[in-house]
Amino acid sequence: MYYREPTKDTYFEYYTIKTGDSLYKIAKTYNINPNLLASMNGFDINDYIYPGQVLLIPNQNYSYYITKSGDTLDTVLNTLNVDISKLLKENKNVFLMDGQMLVKKKN
């Protein structure tokens, strides 16, 4: 995991882990799926996190999809319920490599 200064941007905000935090607790605070939170940050849901570590917290105005082996363009478009032009507009690169995060602005 790499570190960055906590800031805000369009798709994410950054959260610095504090003593006593867990992925489940942070996910509940931000009302997001703990598995998505773990995946977005390159963790398994049961991985150890520690104070000072910085996590990406998804902006609630976007839908997120993390690609997996075997995904096709149709799979991604159907899952995000988006057409190709909108997907490409909101994502600089769409390679469909395992673990690529794609976003779509919610309506």
Do 19 and 48 lie in one domain? The reply is yes
Do 78 and 101 lie in one domain? The reply is yes
The pTM is what?
A: 0.71
Domain carrying residue 38 = 12-58
Domain count, the chain: 2
pLDDT given for residue 7 in this prediction: 43
Has residue 10 got a pLDDT over 50?
yes
Q: In this structure, is residue 6 part of a structural domain? A: no
CATH number, domain of 42, equals 3.10.350.10
pLDDT in tens, 43-99: 999 999 999 999 999 998 889 998 999 999 999 999 999 999 999 998 988 888 888
Do 18 and 53 lie in one domain? The reply is yes
Do 66 and 49 lie in one domain? The reply is no
Do 50 and 18 lie in one domain? The reply is yes
Cβ pair 100, 66 in contact under 8 A: yes
SS3 35: helix
Q: Within 13 Å of residue 103, how many CA atoms lie on the same side as its CB? A: 14
Q: In this structure, is residue 51 part of a structural domain? A: yes
**How far, in Å, CA of 57 to CA of 48, rounded?**
17
CB count in 10 Å sphere of residue 62: 15
Do 44 and 72 lie in one domain? The reply is no
Q: In this structure, is residue 42 part of a structural domain? A: yes
